Structure 1
Amino acid sequence: MTQATELIIREAIPDDAANLLAYLQQVQSESELLLITAEDYGQSETYQANALADIYDSPNNTLLLALLGDEIVGMLRLSAESDPHIQHIGEIGISVLKAHWGQRIGTYLLADGVQWAKDTQILKRLELTVQARNQRAINLYQKIGFDKEGQMARGFYDSAVGYLDVWLMGYLID
């Protein structure tokens, strides 16, 4: 008999560095729809742990992990600058392991990320970019309340298919 594992979403901490690096490498290899590169997972564990500590201590940045047991199955990165003129703008990046697509993990991550942003009382605008061909993600973003604000022709290059259009989407808080 197998026991169901509960999905936990929580903020990343420095101790998550090794598992996060492994997750990033796996998720990047599974999907051509992500706008991440090898630089996003090519850092040392020490570097990643320090970066996670900085993110955790920031009032307008977070990295949320979706975990099934000890396995990271999804993540949401919300990053913002400290400059007072733009500290209210958060940029979102989200990913889920391919084996867990269609299980609403992205929905839970995005909803928690938006709520986290609202709770900061600093963030007033959330932004993201998404490949125009990624209709599942676009549907999710629109369901949560993001609006298409523009399209960048040739906004991403995939060596297998060439230049791809990217949507710019935004969500206003308040």
Structure 2
Amino acid sequence: MKIKPKTITLKNGKEILIRQCEVNDAEHLRNTIKTYIKDSKYIPKLQEEFKLSISQGEDWIKSFIDRPNSLLLIAEFDNKIIGNIDLTGNPRKVMEHTAVIGMGMLAEWRNSGLGTELMKAAISWAKNNPILEILWLQVYTDNKLGVGLYQKMGFTENGIIKNFFKQDGIYFDNLTMSLEVK
């Protein structure tokens, strides 16, 4: 199910484009993800663990295009990818009505309204998707901006796993949240 590209003005007055990711975006998206992983304490992947080649990136993007319950959107400013959101639909028949959300953006675009706009676009797509019924995500409980965004978008808390993440000997709790889209 295709999504129409949409131009949006953020809180900072800058116009961005949100569109479906295409295979030829692989290298640029990979570079953006590498940058925001390095600059975020709330993405549970270390920079040295991110080893996605361009070819693997192309395959990853293609998996979203090929699966009817999955979506990968990117946000662009001046033809540069500044963030992305993905809905990874479960391939198992008994769970194909669910998709997990992943999102990231460059540090300078945080708290600009970009996360809200990416979430709105993904949720709107999911509500029109004939397969999806539940979106879910996991977030560090310390990520107050993230938790606030998800609550604002209608997500409810499902539970916390204590000490789920461990970075540099420090533990962080993991909050699971979900949203019914049907």
Q: Same fold (TM over 0.5)?
A: yes
Q: Is residue 74 from structure 1 mapped to residue 83 from structure 2 by the alignment?
A: yes
Return the alpha-carbon distance in structure 2 between the equivalents of residues 39 and 149 of structure 1.
31
Partner of 1:169: 177
Q: Percent identity?
A: 26
TM-score where L is the length of structure 1: 0.92
Deviation (angstroms), 1:37: 4.1
Partner Cα separation in structure 1 for residue 92 and residue 49 of structure 2: 23
Equivalent residue, structure 1, for 2:120 = 111
Q: Output the amino acid matched with 1:142.
A: Q
Tell me the CA shift for residue 106 of structure 1.
0.3
Runs of 4+ in structure 1 off by over 2 angstroms are 35-41
Q: Is 1:157 matched up with 2:166?
A: yes
Structure-2 change in CA distance of 1:134 and 1:5 (3 Å): closer
Deviation (angstroms), 1:39? 7.7
How many corresponding residue pairs?
170
Structure 2 distance, partners of 1:9, 1:39, is 28
Structure 1 runs not aligned, ≥5 long: none
Cα-to-partner distance string for 1:102-125 (whole Å, 9 max, x where unaligned) = 210000000111111111121100
Q: Which runs of 5+ in 2 are unaligned?
A: 1-12
Matches within 5 A, 1:75-154: 75-154=84-163
Answering whether residue 43 of structure 2 is matched by residue 34 of structure 1, we say: yes
2-side partners of 1:124 and 1:37: how far apart? 32
Q: What is the CA-CA distance between 1:35 and the residue it aligns to? A: 2.3
Aligned CA distance change for structure 1 residues 172 and 131 (closer, same or farther; 3 Å): same
Indicate the SS of the match to 1:85.
helix
Which residue of structure 1 aligns with residue 10 of structure 2?
Answer: none
Amino acid across the alignment from 1:80: G
Q: Deviations over 1:53-98 (max 9, x none)?
A: 1211210111110111211111101101222100001000111111
**1:100 Cα deviation from its structure 2 partner:** 0.9
Post-superposition offset of 1:41: 3.8
Alignment match, 1:8: 17
